[in-house]
Amino acid sequence: MNTDFEPVIGLEVHVQLNTKTKIFCGCSTKFGLLPNTSICPVCLGYPGVLPVMNEEVVRSAVKVCLMMDFMINTYSRMDRKNYFYPDLPKGYQISQFDNPIGVKGKLSIDTDEGKKEIGITRIHIEEDAGKLIHGDGVSYVDFNRTGVPLLEIVSEPDIRSSKEAYLYLKKLKQILEYTKISDCNMEEGSLRCDANVSIRPKGQAQFGTKTEIKNLNSFKFVQKALDYEIERQMNVLKEGGTISQETRLFDSGTGKTKTMRSKEEAHDYHYFPEPDLLPIMVSEGMIKEATFSLPEKPDDKCARFEKQYGLPAYDASVLTADPSTADYYEECAKFCSNYKMISNWMMGEWLRELNERSVSAVDSPVLAKDLAGLLNMIENGKISGKIAKEIFPEMVKTGKTAEQIVQEKGLTVISDTGAIETMIKEVLGKNEKSVQDYKNGKKGVLGFLIGQVMKASKGKADPKKVNELMEKILS
Ligand SMILES: [Zn+2]
């Protein structure tokens, strides 16, 4: 990469809210219904119908505003954004233009150089369009998604690399997941991202001409598309060309971006205030209520985990990455006081099992208190860590507790003095030569004799106790 240039990146994220019904009518927002079965005259834009704002949408927007330190506009307004597209039956989208619900938010990301604050220009409420499905020379349109509520979150052009863009999106998703206003499922399109990128000579204050990249449905694709686009723009400039302001599509197959259309300007949409809806007034009561219902912020939770459970910063950040993992950890910690051991197990065996099943902590096949039960058995010397690792997959498979499995399989550590003494005497009886060697000063055979006892117990004898008793008996 040519270091004389620096990229300037801004991101626009669309978040689908998880309200039960659409933004202006009572149709269900459920994903995966048969096409065109969750529609009505309002969301299909029949003449003469009147939209009514879903209050839950405003509540969700206020919560997100509070989580990311936005200034909330207590008076905001919906506007019409006019354009024609087959998935937009009204011929306009109801959105917010110059009076969005929130402005001047921020979030911080952890870069290799430390914390960096990324400004967020605005957050606004709007409705989603329908979905076009193309195939076999025919195109279909599904209006189920028409009128599903969205929040659009537009960052300042504060991002300087594709890595920072990735970190910003991860952090944004984390905050939205904590706020529980969206399922943030990228495969189902609940979280979508467009990226604006330009480059400029390092040290220059003025921005270069930017392009907008659409069709980015994973954070990895955002990073790849930006890397490609930054390189492309640099090559154009180095060859003496100019960048044209345009919208480009990212093709995940080739890893390249290509021209989609020249970029439209705001005035192309002929925005005007939506005459069928009242302005949105956010009352103090509403803000208070939302504040009261807010979750602990992810950064605060991470700091608390370090302090309260004495965990290293790395562990705390992994365990608080999403709210359900954090809840699972705290549930375990209620039953088991070896906090670091819980962390080790969750980051190791537990996460591996979840990843293999592609499920989140909410659907963990092992209950938090059962994992704690397993760990307590190690703590109390009832089983060894090695045996525990064999038991855990069994717990995942059968749903049984560690205690049950240990009993059924007879895996408990043998720590009974009498039983161990009997085993030792038996081993010594069979190895008289080694015993003689030991008595003649060849202390090295002790390890061999202990090994024989462990073998006889099928690895279940408490090794510390075998050691102690062996030395006692031999002397
Ligand atoms: Zn409807």
Domains located in the chain, CATH noted = 5-288 (no CATH), 296-409 (no CATH), 417-474 (1.10.10.410)
Judge contact between 139 and 149, C-beta under 8 A: no
Q: Residue 216 and residue 222: Cα distance in Å, rounded? A: 6
Ligand 1 center to 72 CA (angstroms): 28
Residue list, CB under 5 A from ion ligand 1? 25, 27, 40, 42-43
C-alpha 306 – ligand 1 centre gap (Å): 47
CA of 93 relative to ligand 1 center, distance in Å: 14
User: Cα(30) to centroid of ligand 1, in Å?
Assistant: 12
pLDDT tens, per residue, the chain with 475 residues = 445 889 999 999 999 999 999 999 999 999 999 999 999 999 999 999 999 999 999 999 999 999 999 999 999 999 999 999 999 999 999 999 999 999 999 999 999 999 999 999 999 999 999 999 998 899 999 999 999 999 999 999 999 999 999 999 999 999 999 999 999 988 888 999 999 999 998 888 899 999 999 878 889 999 999 999 999 999 998 888 898 898 998 988 888 888 887 766 767 899 999 999 999 999 999 999 999 999 999 999 999 999 999 999 999 999 999 999 999 999 999 999 999 999 999 999 999 999 998 888 888 999 999 999 999 998 887 887 888 888 999 999 998 999 888 888 777 777 788 888 888 989 999 988 888 888 888 888 888 898 888 888 877 788 778 888 888 888 7
Alpha carbon of 137 to ligand 1 centroid (Å): 29
Q: How far is the CA of 147 from the centre of ligand 1 (A)?
A: 7
**Quick one: angle between helices 385-398 and 402-409, nearest 10?**
110
CA triplet 415, 421, 424: central angle to 5 degrees? 110
Question: How far is the centre of ligand 1, averaged over its atoms, from the C-alpha of 62 (Å)?
Answer: 24
Phi-psi region of 399 (alpha: psi -120 to 50; beta: other; left: phi over 0): left
Which of 186, 147, 130, 143 has its CA nearest to residue 15?
186
403 CA distance to ligand 1 centroid (A)? 53
